[in-house]
Amino acid sequence: MTNILVTGGAGYIGSHACKALKAAGYMPVTYDNLITGWVDAVKFGPFEQGDLNDRERLDQVFAAYQPAAVMHFAGLSQVGESTRIPETYWQTNVCGSLTLMQAAVTAGCLDFVFSSTCATYGDQDNVVLDETCVQMPINPYASSKRAIEDMLRDFEAAHGLRHVIFRYFNVAGADPEAEVGEQHQPETHLVPLMLDALDGTRGALTIFGTDYDTPDGTCIRDYVHVCDLVDAHILGLKWLEDSKPSRVFNLGTGDGFSVREVIAQAGHVTNRDVPVIEGPRREGDCTKLVSGSTRAEAELGWTPTRSSMAQMIGDAWRWHQSGHFEK
């Protein structure tokens, strides 16, 4: 069975990717420092605890498992936090990714699938966002992701590190079988925060900004189901296995939902009212981010089949009610 090194495999997207890899006939090897991940989420292959900036530990793991490819999910991802402590984001995301790439090249592991973000495009209202759009990040988190993309291109030119870069739009939902799901500490993502407010785990949901230039004044985002997202990663891995060229793909549905629309859909799915309060804008938030790309469908054959808002919230609600990971 072919080993795939999954950095951040104990996190939200990484754990779902590990399940998809195992189902596709691969052996996912999770590498995670558990700062934001959960050991209980590692259910589908071996676990190796370690930090991206620990080159000696990375070398040990590459030598032990000899992975055929890397799926790189590990990193920090909170926009607001990145504006307060940018140095942490550059150290963790950029320096850690540099160390990972160096270790991969030394080990001869030259296929690399990278988890990037649509936030690298910045705030480009009324622009159809596809892979040819200029990248204009407006927060340190997005800047760190763009820097990693640049490093990958440099490492390919110098060392032959071939890559597929996925720029995600907003990820939501959970494994329909509720084996893994979305859980962060602290929680910052809209859907789990909303579900916490629904069941009384926390107080009312705060809507950050109601004066954006959108029909209802709240931010608009393109949401994709986490299981659809990780299906694209399996296709990206096979793309590299088939010796196809390095490529960038947006992963979104092309449909935008405002914060208020997501809240209304949650009420419909759960038959409960979401308690909300209105707050000021968060620094670094864009007005609208919606994909206009068809490249992943045309070239990878990827079609998001689970990404209706009702299904994403329904699957997330099922996970939410089933229990949570324990530290």
User: Is there a domain that residue 327 lies in?
Assistant: no
Q: Cα 108 from chain centroid?
A: 26
- Listed as own residue / partner, the contacts of 267-275 with beta carbons closer than 8 Å and 24 or more positions apart are 268/310, 269/310, 269/313, 269/314, 269/317, 270/195, 270/198, 270/313, 270/317, 272/198, 274/194, 274/197, 274/198, 274/205, 275/197, 275/203, 275/204, 275/205
**Band (126; pLDDT cuts 50, 70, 90):** low
141 is catalytic: yes
The one-letter code for the residue type at 227 is C
- Report d(CA 155, CA 98) in Å as an integer: 10
- Report d(CA 207, CA 214) in Å as an integer: 14
Domain boundary at 235, 251, 267, which?
251
Q: 48-67 burial, b for 16+ CB within 10 Å, e for fewer?
A: bebbbbeeebbeebbeebeb
100 and 228 together in one domain? yes
239 and 298 together in one domain? no
User: Is there a domain that residue 243 lies in?
Assistant: yes
Give the pLDDT confidence score for residue 115 in this predicted structure: 98
- Report d(CA 163, CA 166) in Å as an integer: 10
Give the tens place of pLDDT for each residue, 242-297: 999 999 999 999 999 999 999 999 999 999 999 999 999 987 788 888 898 899 99
Among the listed residues 12, 89, 141, 168, the single catalytic one is 141
9 and 100 together in one domain? yes
142 and 12 together in one domain? yes
Domain boundary at 236, 251, 266, which?
251
Give the pLDDT confidence score for residue 249 in this predicted structure: 98
User: Is there a domain that residue 314 lies in?
Assistant: yes
pTM for the structure as a whole = 0.94
19 and 167 together in one domain? yes
User: Is there a domain that residue 184 lies in?
Assistant: no
59 and 127 together in one domain? yes
**Band (326; pLDDT cuts 50, 70, 90):** low
228 and 217 together in one domain? no
69 and 208 together in one domain? no
User: Is there a domain that residue 265 lies in?
Assistant: yes
Number of domains comprising the chain: 2
Phi, psi of 49 (to 5 degrees): -85, 135
Tell me the CATH number at 154.
Answer: 3.40.50.720
User: Is there a domain that residue 70 lies in?
Assistant: yes
